[in-house]
Structure 1
């Protein structure tokens, strides 16, 4: 089965982690560092995107709703519909903080900031 953009429904997490993330202007803004899964609903909570820094020093980690990442074959990475400025102002944390409280606090902050409809509330 494929998605609306023609991609397959399933992808191994090992292929996602380490993939570049770009904004719609084509600017590389970071890398997918991890993916948070919600076991009870079988959903992907969010992607952990590393942004900024050099060799891991000063890097910020953002919870980005999985639904907004769109893979573009031409770029070999994911594209998010946000500007660099939006991402710089987004909630950022350490990876440990993003996973604390089962990731719920980071998930709620990310979905509110990016104005993405929460998947856990249904349509």
Structure 2
């Protein structure tokens, strides 16, 4: 999936399955889905699959959409996170999707905007 520089929009089904890398070039996972704010229409989170083996034990990590940067050379998204940081991040199993209520969204946002991370956002 290559994106021409003049193409500023993409279908969500093309985003799903796209690789996510850290700044060092390590693949962290893939985009499993997007969480869209129903009122504003803006993407709030990219839900990344990470961990597991052959789909077993894979967990979903909601990452604020504003943290992702598309890298044409990698044909994937880059986030300023490493695997150690993700290990403590909010996550859930595929069968246990949270309802993304105010408390859950606040927990996710707070995790990624902690003082040590603010400089990266």
Common topology (TM > 0.5): yes
Shift in Å, 1:107: 2.6
Q: Which residue of 2 aligns with 1:86?
A: 85
| SS of corresponding position for 1:41 | coil
Q: Which residue of 2 aligns with 1:110?
A: 108
TM-score, with length taken from structure 1: 0.79
TM-score, with length taken from structure 2: 0.80
Q: Which residue of 2 aligns with 1:64?
A: 63
Shift in Å, 1:22: 0.4
Q: Which residue of 2 aligns with 1:120?
A: none
| SS of corresponding position for 2:92 | coil
- Partners of 1:49 and 1:106 in 2: CA distance: 16
The 1:85/1:7 distance shift into structure 2, 3 A limit, reads farther
- Partners of 1:7 and 1:54 in 2: CA distance: 37
Structure 2: 5+ residue runs without aligned partners? Answer: 115-121
Q: Which residue of 2 aligns with 1:15?
A: 14
Structure 1: 5+ residue runs without aligned partners? Answer: 1-5, 117-123
The 1:96/1:67 distance shift into structure 2, 3 A limit, reads farther
Count of equivalent residues: 109
Q: Which runs of 4+ in 1 moved over 3 A?
A: 6-9, 95-98
Root-mean-square deviation over aligned CA pairs: 1.9
Describe how 1:90-101 pairs up with structure 2 within 5 A: 90-98=89-97, 100-101=98-99
| SS of corresponding position for 1:75 | coil
